[in-house]
């Protein structure tokens, strides 16, 4: 059995047991989750900065976009988690809605929060809304990669028990080997980012407003829909349902994505 700072390799499966605290100094604790979330924000910001410089857009306005998006993502993700995944508990304990430090952020709500934040920002910079959504989608994909890595570090958003050789034991939770669903999503988001960035750099799809954002929605939420099949259901009330709450919430995003992806080409053919 081999040990390292993250966990240890047993005879059958890797056992994950990283200390959630990365640095502790004089009572001050810095968590891995916070580090990875900061990397998510920083990487998304740098992608947007490169796009703005390339297209001669007002880079100085990105500070406002960053602030609006961070607030929109956190508020939207928290409210969506409370309303869609455990409404009975939060309606009974409304003050707990504010307890973000206890965990509980839903990516669907975070996405809606970011879209609302972008709409508010768009009214200031006077750029087309779909034009901005296309570019923000690229940054959001790499943001999602780091967030899911943070979930992996925290041993949260667990997969179902599995006998697959790549299954991981999250020792902080139990001793069952499970699908590393967080890593599945992280890889899906990273591949989505690479593809969208290549399309933006090498094709004219960026001229078709809404197409890149539509492709982003299709790739992200089709991946999410499929990966939900090997994840523990987060909404207790949906235990007996065929589809999980995460899958049902993904369907509207998929429909919108397909419509946005096809719309520019349908308009062109009609013309």
Where on the phi/psi map is residue 105: left (φ > 0), alpha (ψ -120 to 50), or beta? beta
**DSSP-assigned states of every residue in 191-224:** HHHHHHHHHHHHSSGGGSTTHHHHHHHHHHHHHH
> In b/e form, how buried is each residue of 146-160, taking b as 16+ CB within 10 angstroms?
bbbbbbbbbbbbbbe
Answer yes or no: is 8 a known binding residue: no
Instruction: Give the containing element (helix H, strand E) for 44.
Output: helix 32-54
Query: How many whole angstroms separate alpha carbon 53 and alpha carbon 160?
Result: 44
Give the residue numbers of the binding site.
Answer: 148
């Amino acid at each position: 059995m081999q040990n390292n700072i993250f966990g240890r390799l047993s005879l059958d499966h890797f056992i994950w047991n990283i200390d959630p605290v990365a640095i502790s100094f004089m009572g001050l604790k810095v968590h891995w989750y916070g580090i990875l979330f900061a990397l998510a924000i920083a990487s998304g910001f740098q992608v947007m900065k490169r796009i703005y410089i390339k297209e001669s857009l007002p880079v100085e306005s990105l500070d406002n976009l960053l602030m609006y998006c961070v607030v929109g993502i956190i508020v939207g993700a928290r409210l969506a988690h409370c309303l869609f995944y455990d409404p009975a508990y939060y309606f009974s304990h409304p003050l707990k809605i504010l307890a973000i430090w206890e965990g509980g952020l839903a990516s669907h709500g975070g996405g809606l929060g970011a879209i609302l934040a972008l709409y508010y920002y768009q009214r200031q910079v006077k750029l087309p809304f779909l034009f901005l959504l296309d570019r923000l989608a690229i940054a959001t994909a790499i943001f999602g990669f780091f967030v899911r890595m943070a979930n992996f570090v925290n041993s949260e958003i667990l997969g179902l028990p599995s006998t697959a050789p790549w299954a991981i034991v999250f020792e902080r939770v139990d001793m069952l080997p499970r699908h590393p669903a967080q890593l599945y999503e992280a890889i899906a988001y990273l591949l989505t980012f690479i593809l969208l960035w290549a399309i933006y750099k090498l094709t004219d799809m960026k001229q078709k407003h809404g197409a890149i954002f539509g492709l982003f929605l299709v790739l992200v939420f089709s991946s999410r829909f499929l990966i939900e099949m090997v994840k523990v259901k987060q909404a207790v009330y949906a235990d007996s349902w065929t589809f999980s709450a995460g899958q049902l919430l993904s369907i509207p995003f998929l429909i919108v994505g397909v419509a946005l992806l096809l719309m520019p080409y349908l308009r062109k053919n009609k013309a």
